[in-house]
Amino acid sequence: MTASDVKIQVDKVYKIFGNRADDAMAALQAGAAKAEVLHKTGCIVGLKRIDFSIRRGETFVIMGLSGSGKSTLIRHFNRLIEPTSGRILVDGCNIMDMNAKELLAFRRTGISMVFQRFGLLPHQTVLENTICGPILQGVDQREARARGMEQLELVGLKGFENRFPRQLSGGMQQRVGLARALTTQADVLLMDEAFSALDPLIKSDMQEQLKDIQARLKKTIIFITHDLDEALHLGDRIAILKDGELRQVGTGEEILFRPADDYVERFVRKVDLSRALYTHDAFAKVPVLTQAQATGDRTTALLRQHPAVIVVHGAKLRVLTSAEPDRANCAASIDATATLGQSFPLLADQEAIVVMDSGAPVGILTREMAFKALSRSHGAANKLSPASLLPSPVA
Amino acid sequence: MADNFPELFDTRGLRFAIDDGFSWVVTNYGDTLERMLGPLLKLLGAMEAFLQWLPWYVTIAGVALLTYSASRNLRMTCSAVIMLFFIGAVGLWNDAMATVALMLAATAVAVVLGIPLGIVMARSDWLRSVALPLLNIMQTLPIFVYLIPFVMLFGPGKIPAILATVFFAIPPVIRLTDLGIRQVDGEVVEAIVAFGATPGQKLMKVQIPLALPTIMAGINQTTMMALSMVVIASMIGAGGLGYQVLQGIQRLEVSRGLVAGIAIVFLAVIFDRIAQSYGRRAQKHLDNGE
């Protein structure tokens, strides 16, 4: 990755809670363990030598269980919490060097945040909450309201602008939180367990909405979660944090199939693979013919070499399989970038579906292929664990 | 008779030192302090004169309007009107107005001083740990103990009365401002800071509005405590309803004491209803966002 791709760089950040931070730092530098530091100095090590960088426009997920330091870490990016030592560079500029005025300007225009329990002002309307950023920036009311309405429309809350937060459901409140964060037009979006307080259906709706918005706006998103499925679904890259230390940074696939250590490996064991694998990992390429090309001889010849042939007839896609060479079944289609899980409902009705790449048919996905891909990955993800020796149900 | 406890060392020296020190302050600074508090006395005098000048029906109408706008409750409004009418009918109108003036002036001073103190206290744990015991002492110390130095400083009259009342009535508003601000949801405060609020904006846009119901409860308690001080304050020349009670005691006139006492209760009920209704409305606004 080149320097210009890097949006945020975290450079040897330590955070120590307690009165004797200097002693604790010295002890840590000398190689003391966290328990030892606590025993000697009474200080708690919140973050220990955190080092990573985040690319422009990526969704970077920081994952860990409670107490891992993830909420502490995310609050360093807008200095709600100050590190004990280390630097955080945003666009090459160290935010620790900012004075009070620069920090205010940075918080107003450079970075915004979505909170787990929404953090909305209960005495202000949805619209007033949404425009809190621009109002603090000093934008005039009319312009701010126009901007706020635009964002509320984007998150699907048009018509609710004069309600108060408590009149809204949890999911809707968090949409207000999201709209508020987007209204500042900051490049960087911090999301602190933003969807953790929502029930599962609303949660997945919100995840889709975030992906939609991200596809359009290309923000740099730092997303905190304790939910691996969510991390795999949303994250371009994932960092795994345990006890204030970074265990692994990588893509979802790297985390799943090449866990850096035992902890990560145990962490990923229970993941829902159908959301981590994509259709393009599982499908088979097959020849594609037009209706005119699909003569009996030609298809018979092709079916000897390939499991199936796709025949395009106008907007309809039909699949000829070697099992049933005479019957062309109309088939549903799925994009190659969809997760394997998304193909399940289609495969429930049909033996085979057509896989599309950039709008053109390229191959088919059968139940067997999907099943094989899952069991292959399941084996890979579990190859270190003795549990995989026992017969275990496919995830 | 000798005390049952042996005299281990002589404490008279210490007591003399305190007395002499205080006398020195009185002789050297008494006049200056009295001059400094002149505006307060003028304010109180003006309020008293105004309330006594205002035609009684205007006052009653004003209180009725205030009660109704706070409570939206006709029964409450009617009972406030009847109670005020009773006070006037038994010939205590001017005394009641003097008491109300003293109470309002003392409450105003207590609120103006108490809310900022509460805000400062909410910001610093250290200050809180110092201030809480002090407030506890202020509330438990027998009133007469601090009435003495106030009277020595200013002589009997309205200034020591109002100061003693402020001193006695200020703890609740300080305490509940501190408590209210500390109880504000941390995430809401964090959110507004994350969006670039200055400490002043944080205070005015989030902390005070969200703490308002609690602060209102503090103001209500302060008002009630100020009212409960009027009888004692009348002993040092505050006049008003308290003086009537005092006279009732001195002359053994049960009726005078009783009627004035009932008038004080009525005033307390009226002000409590108004303040509580406002507090409830502020609370409701936060809950349902009306």
- In a mutational test of the A interface, the residue from B195, B215, B285 whose CB has the highest number of chain A CBs within 10 Å is B195
Give the residue numbers in B contacting A (CB under 8 Å), as ranges: 185, 187-188, 190-198, 201, 205-206, 209-210, 285-289
Which residues lie closer than 8 Å to A190 by C-beta, 6 or more apart? A74, A77, A78, A111, A112, A113, A114, A222, B194
First to last CA, chain B: 70
Nearest 5°: the CA angle B102, B107, B113 is 130
Phi and psi, residue A76, nearest 5°: -75, -25
The answer to whether A3-9+53-110+186-271 and A279-372 have equal CATH topology is no
Residues of A in contact with B192 (CB under 8 A): 119, 121, 132, 136
Inter-chain residue contact B196 with A104, CB threshold 8 Å: yes
Give me the residue from B196, B206, B286 closest to A107, CB to CB.
Answer: B196
- Identify the DSSP state of B57: H
Distance CA A162, CA A129 (A): 10
Domain boundaries, chain A: 3-9+53-110+186-271, 279-372
Q: Which CATH class is domain A279-372?
A: alpha beta
Cβ-Cβ contacts under 8 Å, B197 against chain A? 136
For residue B180, how far is the Cα from the chain centroid? 19
Label each residue of chain A as H, E or C: CCHHHEEEEEEEEEEEECCCHHHHHHHHHCCCCHHHHHHHHCCEEEEEEEEEEEECCCEEEEECCCCCCHHHHHCCCCCCCCCCEEEEEECCEEHHHCCHHHHHHHHHHCEEEECCCCCCCCCCCHHHHHCHHHHHHCCCHHHHHHHHHHHHHHCCCCCCCCCCHHHCCHHHHHHHHHHHHHHCCCCEEEEECCCCCCCHHHHHHHHHHHHHHHHHHCCEEEEEECCHHHHHHHCCEEEEEECCEEEEEECHHHHHHCCCCHHHHHHHCCCCHHHHCEHHHCCEECCEEECCCCCHHHHHHHHHHCCEEEEEECCEEEEEECCCCCCCEECCEEECCCEHHHHHHHHHHCCEEEEEECCEEEEEEEHHHHHHHHHHHHHHHCCCCHHHHCCCCCC
Give all domains of chain B, ordered by start, each with its CATH number: 46-54+93-288 (1.10.3720.10)
CATH class of A3-9+53-110+186-271: alpha beta
Q: What ipTM score was computed for the predicted complex, to two decimals?
A: 0.75
- Render each residue's pLDDT in chain A as its tens digit; 395 residues: 555 688 999 999 999 998 888 888 888 888 888 888 888 888 888 999 899 999 999 999 999 888 888 999 999 999 999 999 999 999 989 999 999 999 999 999 999 999 999 999 998 999 999 999 999 988 899 999 999 999 999 888 989 989 999 999 888 999 999 999 999 989 999 999 989 888 888 888 889 889 988 998 899 999 999 988 888 888 999 999 988 899 999 988 788 878 888 888 887 777 777 777 788 778 888 888 887 787 777 888 888 888 888 888 777 888 887 777 666 677 888 888 888 888 888 888 888 888 888 888 888 888 888 888 777 766 555 544 444 444 444 43
* Closest partner CB to A119 (pick from B188, B209, B287): B188
